Amino acid sequence: MMAMIILLRLIRKVAILGDMMDLGTKTIKYHIDILHYLDNCSFNKIFLYGKYYRKAFKRCIINKQKFEFFKDYQTISKELKKWITKSEETIAFIKGSRKMEMEKLLELLK
């Protein structure tokens, strides 16, 4: 267990987040809450995708260098390939509502 914890400290961590859907009237607030939380986490880079994250990103006071917003999977894929290299260990966390079809990103990374 300790080895895993140490390993997670040493490798680069990237998050790719697609919109959370069906949250009702507080949708943007919940997206902003996630951005604030992630701003204090140990991710090296956070890629955002979707109209709700775009709105939240514009309204949020966060470390904008840590976050980057993308309009399509192709652009995310190109940028992510720069982060995931054979020379440096990187772990990528991908999460989004089913409607965001985040699996399309995995196909582009092959």
User: Over the stretch 45-73, which tens digit does the pLDDT of each residue have?
Assistant: 999 999 999 999 999 888 888 899 998 88
pTM of the predicted model, to two decimals? Answer: 0.83
Closest CA to 48 of 5, 22, 79, 90: 79
> Chain centroid to CA 41: how far?
12
Domain residues for the domain of 44 are 2-109
Rounded CA separation 36/17 (Å): 14
Predicted local distance difference test score (pLDDT) of residue 9: 72
Up-side HSE of residue 50: CA atoms within 13 Å toward CB? Answer: 21
CA-based nearest residue to 54, from 38, 74, 72, 78: 72
Residue 14 bridge partners (DSSP): 45, 92
Provide the CATH number for the domain around residue 89: 3.90.190.20
**Is residue 91 over pLDDT 90?**
no
Domain count along the chain:
1
For residues 95 and 72, the answer to whether their CB atoms sit within 8 Å is no
